[in-house]
Amino acid sequence: MPADLGFHPKEHYGLVSAHPYRLLPFRFMRWQTGEVLVVNDVGEHLFLDASSFDAFVRHRLDSGSDTYLDCKAKHLLADSDSTVPIDLLATKYRTKKSFLEGFTKLHLFVVTLRCDHSCHYCQVSRVTEDRERFDMSRETAERAVNLMFRSPARDLKVEFQGGEPLLNFQLIRYLVNYANECNTQEGRRLEFVIATNLSPLTDEMLVFMREHSIFISTSLDGPEAVHNANRPRRGNDSYEITLRNIGRAREALGHDRVSAIMTTTERSLLHPREIIDEYVRQDFDSIFLRPISPYGFAIRTRKAWEYGAQEFIEFYKAALDHVINLNRNGVAFMEVYAQILLRRMLTPFPTGYMDLQSPAGAGVGVVAYNYDGDVYASDEARMLAEMGDFSFRLGNVHEQTYEEIFGGSVLQALQEASCVEALPGCSECAFVPYCGADPIFHWATQGDPVGNRPTSAFCTKNMALLKHLFGLLHSGDAFIEKLFLQWATSQDLPHRLAS
Amino acid sequence: MTEKLSAETSLRGYAGVLTTQKLPYGLVPAELCPVIHCVKSLNHLADRDVVALNPNGYVRTLFRVASEHNVLFATDRCNSFCLMCSQPPRDVDDSDRLSEHLRLIELIDPRTREMGITGGEPTLLKDGLIHIVRKCKEFLPQTAIHILSNGRLFYYGSYAHNLAEVGHTDLMVGIPLYADTDHEHDYIVQSRGAFDETMVGFQNLGRHGVAVEVRVVTHRLTVHRLENLAEFIYRNLPFAAHVAFMGLETVGFAVPNIETLWVDPWDYRHELEQATRYLADRGMHVSIYNHQLCTLPVSIWTYSRMSISDWKNEYLPICSACTARERCGGFFSSSIRARHSEHIGPFEVLPA
């Protein structure tokens, strides 16, 4: 390289000072293989062998090595006084936390508690004909919608819940029209979802849903025997009715307007493959393997689920393994919880999944308006209230203002107890950038919104699943790597999770 | 002007005259109009092209209607000194050229699809560049503007803000990034602190909603960490509208630095494949420029573009037998003369 033209050799641009590099914020976890998983604050990660990790933390990495450059490029170390690495980290951090922008986006309206099913894992439905007592009134609905529009979010998602919301379809109709009317002034992007077992579905309802582009989220727990045992109803025909109505709804609204969710009961644990196969057979392209909600059992026994966390983990792994094998055999099918975690691990983007955020989505991401006008920090918070625990009641649409409800002490306490970056047992965990907190779960199962991690089923589950996913990604299996990347970068997140 | 010039020809209404003829006696005093006569050939020019006439008889072509690659050379100055710079900077005071640039924009055919603004480093015109973009918006509302900049002055957020404020709806700033760490990049652009300024510049443009393109020149100093660079781009610049991997053009400073820079594209084809796939698999828009298809793995052919400016593009004699030639990026004329891959060879049958 000709110096006479004014060019300088590489050394001229190298380290200018003799002082060693600084470590930037990171967390780590030792792996069974002896390697160490190193994760920065925004989820960028790498595996280092034990000796490289040792050299890294002792400021002894050779500045000419690729490991050094890897650590520097991932903002794990800095070797100058420049503030730019911190600026870049800050920008990435802001992106990861941008699910907070716009405040509460998902608004649940419990339009009735009445239901024709009597699922044992449900604590909130009532099999009754008493309309007056458990249905939301028009006045309550209007006040709740008015509150919703006080949220600054540009995208607002209205989800109708129950009970069985279709049993109060008149109110759904009224509320959709009222919200759309308000929205001519508001100009938000408004979306409607009905979470329904579909059994009261009529053609007239489908016409209305098509007119207003309403999504359907229904429940399918697996093959006939599992589904009907999980979801009892008079006549023991829930499975048959559900499938028939999924077909009708798909035909009327379009295939992708109908999604299903499953709940894992003790019985489900025995049938991971059959449950997946049922979803494939019914032409769904994904499944969300959800553990049962603790509310109910928890109150009585302080136990998380009717089964142990370990049993759910084994079930989940078996099911995921089956999903991967299906894909190997050419069947494109996705597990949604893995997708959420993988998106956090493999992309710089946030995920709008409210049940695993830091701070927790309760109140700041999602809010539930109960049939009687009570406002709760989440669906789980109102389930807890049905069990007699009103700890997470934010107020009532008839009694409190927006400021009192969303700026009150209950919501503040929830936020304070749900930043995993600062929670005992979480703050030093390598999985912090991928995880979140569930203060209501910990209140219900441990009597404290912060909770104790070593005995937390929530922590046990998420730790195990994240370890499992990292293990699969790091196993050298190119097919899995490619498949997981596809899931992580897929644009079509299920509508209940996207925000 | 095609008609035969005579002493009686009226030059009224002409801004200037170029002619291959010898100037007839008595013409000049009649009209106040610059004339350059005895020009060797005007065949490269067409109606609506724009030229500049210098008093010394030098004619510069500023715009050609027939070309897809028109650029406005904003300045000869630069605040970087890249080892492979194809347009080596000159330290001259050319700030008086702004009025010429603004006049040029008035003369350009408004049907022009795309125009580049390059240099030197266009941002050294400071507010002048903002004037130019504003003028483009006014006179060439249908023309996409692509600014080629090292991005360093966008370190100043107010400057990025001012560019965004123009509100040009089809504007992109292409900015080179050569490494995922500062010292490596600074060495290649021969400027301490350049990496930091460029990275902050990217962020500022992104923050203000100006579309950015990341440009990576592939050579011996960049190819060994190409996939790491791709990862760095995905993690730190996921908002980039386009990422381009560009083969080395052996002109300018690349000529004296050729031993430092040269690597046969064949030897880094796997690194290029990994980096391209890394970004494409994550939904980023990727292109490969200035590479010949016979040096690229077939899996990334689809990202290869015919990008070399029409007047710089050539092929080797051996290429005439190639079935993929129509889709091939070809060579820079300069690279054909200087150095090219030793693995150039025709495809007798188009690979599947």
Alpha-carbon gap: B132 to the closest alpha carbon of chain A (Å): 30
What does the pLDDT look like over B213-267, one tens digit per residue?
999 999 999 999 999 999 999 999 999 999 999 999 999 999 999 999 999 999 9
Work out the percent of chain A whose per-residue pLDDT is above 70. Answer: 95
B192 → chain A, closest CA residue: A13
> pLDDT confidence of A495, banded at 50, 70, 90?
very low
Q: How many residues does chain A have?
A: 499
Would you call B352 exposed, middle or buried from its count of C-beta atoms within 10 A (0-12, 13-18, 19+)?
A: exposed
What is this structure's pTM?
0.93
Q: For residue A498, what pLDDT is reported?
A: 36
Q: For residue B212, what pLDDT is reported?
A: 98
Name every chain A residue with its beta carbon within 8 A of the beta carbon of B189. Answer: none
Q: What is the mean pLDDT of residues A327-348?
A: 96
| Model confidence at A301: pLDDT above 80 | no
B200 → chain A, closest CA residue: A84
Q: For residue B78, what pLDDT is reported?
A: 96
Q: Where are the alpha helices (DSSP H) in B166-247?
A: 182-189, 194-207, 226-236
Alpha-carbon gap: B64 to the closest alpha carbon of chain A (Å): 34
By Cβ distance, the residue of A1, A66, A87 closest to B200 is A87
Would you call A11 exposed, middle or buried from its count of C-beta atoms within 10 A (0-12, 13-18, 19+)?
A: exposed
Q: What's the mean per-residue pLDDT of chain A?
A: 92
Q: What is the pLDDT along chain B (352 residues), one digit of tens a residue?
A: 556 777 777 777 788 888 888 877 766 545 677 888 888 888 888 889 999 888 888 888 999 998 888 999 999 999 999 999 999 999 998 878 899 999 999 999 999 999 999 989 999 999 999 999 999 999 999 999 999 999 999 999 999 999 999 999 999 999 999 999 999 999 999 999 999 999 999 999 999 999 999 999 999 999 999 999 999 999 999 999 999 999 999 999 999 999 999 999 999 999 999 999 999 999 999 999 999 999 999 999 999 998 776 667 788 999 999 999 888 988 888 877 778 999 999 999 988 7
Q: For residue B310, what pLDDT is reported?
A: 67
- For the record, the structure tokens of B138 come out as 């006014």
Contacts 24+ apart (CB under 8 A), A336-340: A336/A286, A336/A287, A336/A288, A336/A289, A336/A494, A336/A497, A337/A288, A337/A289, A337/A290, A337/A465, A338/A465, A338/A469, A338/A484, A338/A487, A339/A286, A339/A487, A339/A488, A339/A490, A339/A493, A340/A497
Q: For residue B17, what pLDDT is reported?
A: 83
Name every chain A residue with its beta carbon within 8 A of the beta carbon of B219. Answer: none
- For the record, the structure tokens of B115 come out as 């125009």
Name every chain A residue with its beta carbon within 8 A of the beta carbon of B81. Answer: 6-7
* Phi and psi torsions of B47, nearest 5°: -55, 135
Q: Round to the nearest angstrom and report the end-to-end CA distance of chain A.
A: 54
Q: Please, which residues 420-449 of chain A have a Cβ atom closer than 8 Å to chain B?
A: none
A1 → chain B, closest CA residue: B257
What does the pLDDT look like over A163-219, one tens digit per residue?
899 999 999 999 999 999 999 999 999 999 999 999 999 999 999 999 999 999 999
> Beta A36-40 vs A189-196: how paired, if at all?
unpaired
What does the pLDDT look like over A414-432, one tens digit per residue?
999 999 999 999 999 999 9
In 10 A of CB B62, how many CB atoms? 18
Alpha-carbon gap: B341 to the closest alpha carbon of chain A (Å): 21
For residues A339 and A487, the answer to whether their CB atoms sit within 8 Å is yes
- Report the SS3 class of residue B28: helix
A71 → chain B, closest CA residue: B181
Q: What is the mean pLDDT of residues A383-403?
A: 94
